[in-house]
C-alpha cells in the first residue's frame, strides 16, 4: 500500500553510493511535513551527486511512502521506484569468517 505525502521538505543527513544502483545515491534525511511541525527519519534514492549534506530540499509532487524500516520512512520521489524489485538483504557476497 502506498501513501501520498502532503507538502514536505527534507534535510540530508548522510548519503552514500547505492550498492545495487550505479546511478543513484542512498540518502538518509530528516523529512519535515507541512510547515515543519512534524518530522521523521527517512531514506530515499536520488540520482548520484545531486544532493549535499546539510541542505534542505523541497519534496516533489507525487512522492509516496514505500514502507518503513527500523523507524525510517522509505520515500520514493516519483511514480517509479528506482529500487523496485531489488533485494538488499542478499546484496553482496558473504565472506567466510576467519579462524
Residue located via cell numbers 534525511 = 29
pLDDT single digits (tens) 16-54: 999 899 999 999 999 998 877 889 999 999 999 999 999
∠ CA 49-88-30, rounded to 5°: 50
Q: What's the predicted TM-score (pTM) here?
A: 0.82
Q: What is the mean pLDDT of the chain?
A: 89
* Span 3-82 CATH architecture: Beta Barrel (2.40)
C-alpha cell at 41: 527519519
What are the residue boundaries of the structural domains of the chain, listed by start?
3-82
Look at residues 56, 60, 65 and name the one whose alpha carbon lies nearest to residue 78. 60
Amino acid at each position: 500500500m502506498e501513501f501520498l505525502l502532503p507538502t514536505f521538505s527534507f534535510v540530508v543527513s548522510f548519503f552514500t553510493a547505492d550498492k545495487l544502483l550505479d546511478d543513484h545515491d542512498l540518502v538518509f534525511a530528516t523529512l519535515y511535513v507541512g510547515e515543519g511541525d512534524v518530522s521523521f527519519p527517512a531514506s530515499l534514492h536520488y540520482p548520484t551527486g545531486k544532493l549535499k549534506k546539510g541542505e534542505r530540499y523541497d519534496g516533489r509532487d507525487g512522492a509516496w511512502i514505500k514502507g518503513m524500516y527500523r523507524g525510517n520512512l522509505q520515500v520514493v520521489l516519483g511514480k517509479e521506484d528506482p529500487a523496485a524489485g531489488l533485494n538488499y538483504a542478499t546484496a553482496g557476497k558473504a565472506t567466510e569468517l576467519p579462524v
